[in-house]
Amino acid sequence: MPRITPSLWFDLQSEEAAKFYVSVFPNSEITNVTYYGEGGPRPAGTVLTVEFSLDGRAFTALNGGPEFTFDEAVSFQIDCADQAEVDHYWTKLSAGGQEGPCGWLKDKYGLSWQVVPTALGELLADPDAERAQRAMRAMLGMGKLDVAALRAAADGKA
């Protein structure tokens, strides 16, 4: 089966962004960098692509030019085991970027991320529909997701 690799289009920030992302996620590394040659649309020696992995998942970053930018139609979801992980990824990825609602943010390169505690999925799938709806209402009022507040809301204590 072929491997599917997300390719991220940057203007000129692909190497900077890849270095940033591998600094945020454990077990991550830059695996290859290619450069434009004499015949390319950018000056020879300019970074063309950066191949990197984030916790074992392959990505490619391309310096393709200013024609295309990121939007929220594509995002990467980080499933966080606990509040400490939510706090870590939220702080690192939102620095210089833009915080959004419901666990969404844009990093300083404009790439959208969803920083989501695994507890949220459990709460929203609760067999008690009223409990699940209380958790949903609480989530809709949050920026960075707060596990304790989500649980309190689900339990009717918020």
pLDDT digits (tens, 9 = 90+) for 65-117: 999 999 999 999 999 999 999 999 999 999 999 999 999 999 999 999 999 99
**Mean pLDDT, the chain, as a whole number?**
97
End-to-end CA distance of the chain: 48
Residues 6 or more apart whose Cβ sits within 8 Å of residue 117:
80, 81, 82, 83, 85, 86, 145, 147, 150
Q: Angle CA(37)–CA(46)–CA(67) in degrees, nearest 5?
A: 100
Number of independent structural domains in the chain: 2
Structure tokens at 109: 């390169």
The answer on pLDDT for 158 being more than 80 is: no
Structure tokens at 9: 């289009």
Q: Where are the beta strands (DSSP E) in 17-144?
A: 29-35, 47-54, 57-63, 75-80, 98-99, 104-106, 112-117
Structure tokens at 105: 């943010």
Specify the pTM: 0.94
Would you give the distance in Å from CA 13 to the centre of its chain?
A: 17
Same structural domain, 80 and 128: yes
Same structural domain, 63 and 76: no
Confidence of residue 12 (pLDDT cuts 50, 70, 90): very high
Q: Which pLDDT belongs to residue 96?
A: 98
Q: Which pLDDT belongs to residue 4?
A: 94
Say if residues 87 and 78 touch (Cβ distance below 8 Å): no
The answer on pLDDT for 54 being more than 80 is: yes
Same structural domain, 124 and 62: no
The answer on pLDDT for 1 being more than 90 is: no
Same structural domain, 12 and 54: yes
Domain span at residue 82 reads 70-158
Q: Which pLDDT belongs to residue 143?
A: 98
Q: Which pLDDT belongs to residue 30?
A: 98
Same structural domain, 26 and 43: yes
- Measuring CA to CA, which residue among 68, 60, 49, 48 is closest to residue 21? 60
* 75-80 and 112-117 strand pairing: parallel
Q: Which pLDDT belongs to residue 118?
A: 97
